Amino acid sequence: MDMDTFTFADVSFTYDDEKDTSLEELRGSLPVFSPLRFTETDKRMRTPHDTHSTKRPRQAGGIHKSLSFGDHPVYQPSPSNGVKNAVSLLMDVDNVIGDGTAIFSLPTVKGKHSDLKSIDSNTLVGLQTGLYQNTVSGYQIIDCRYPYEYNGGHIKGAHNIYKEDDILQLLQAYQPNTQRDILIFHCEFSSERAPKLCRLLRNKDRELNSDKYPFLTFPELYILDGGYKSFYYSNKSYCEPINYVPMLHQDHAADVRHFRSKSKSWTAGEKRKSPQRLLF
């Protein structure tokens, strides 16, 4: 009897090839979700340039509602479907979001972090102006800079989240059966602070939903390439106030020391690992 044992997203699974062990058999109460069915048609995945044809339903009044988990029209349930299918899908297909229900909604660019999906400033402006309203049901911009940077000038509608506790509150504030927004993270350059918090959110999301794997509260995450600095100099009218305060501004030396000491309390000992695509 051939049996494969493997670890995926910090969860170990044993798969029986002869029995085609189902997800229900492996995870007990875990239902066989439709995203785990990956058909031959789906294998011809679209590139980021034509992802906009995958439209999500809209509510009356112009408000978009996210699909419930398993409602995506492309993926169909199968009684013989197993965890091995989901692992293969999420590991091998780069353009699938973290819960396997859909492909990424926005066109991406090659960013500084190979394990994270990045969008450019023009795409974010398009999102703000409704260009992707038939594709994206809702979104939040997460500004990971320190408060004095955020208060000095930020992208309209952005939320200032720069601590681990803030990330946990964001996850815990989610209510079942409500839309699951896509999240766009950025800091000054999107080099350190935003990627760290983006990865932290995904790790905590996996932990909180370990009993419902591969469900995620926020399955679609992006990094704003170039950060606030790049966005500001190309799209000032989308910032409020129209200003840019660098982290190392001479008037905020004491603030830098204060906020750096707070952020190091939860990043202490963190080692940079070899880039691996997070399961987005």
Closest CA to 224 of 126, 146, 130: 126
Q: Quick one: tokens of 232?
A: 């500001």
Going by the DSSP 8-state scheme, the letter that residue 204 receives in this structure is: H
Q: How far apart are CA 182 and CA 204, in angstroms?
A: 16
Determine the straight-line distance between the first and last CA of the chain, rounded to whole angstroms.
Answer: 33
| Site of tokens 């950060």 | 227
How deeply is 249 buried, as exposed, middle or buried, from its count of CB atoms within 10 A (0-12, 13-18, 19+)? middle
Largest CA distance in the chain: 69
- Determine which helix (DSSP H) or strand (DSSP E) holds 197, and give its type and residue range: helix 193-208
DSSP β-bridge partners for residue 223? 118, 185
Q: Quick one: tokens of 8?
A: 């995926």
Catalytic annotation present for 239: no
**Active-site residue identified among 144, 187, 198, 239:** 187
Three-state SS for 137-185 is CCEEEEECCCHHHHHHCEECCCEECCCHHHHHHHHHCCCCCCCCCEEEE
DSSP β-bridge partners for residue 139? 182
Q: Quick one: tokens of 252?
A: 């905020």
The dihedral region occupied by 184, where left means phi > 0, alpha psi between -120 and 50, and beta the remainder, is: beta
- Residues annotated catalytic, as ranges: 187
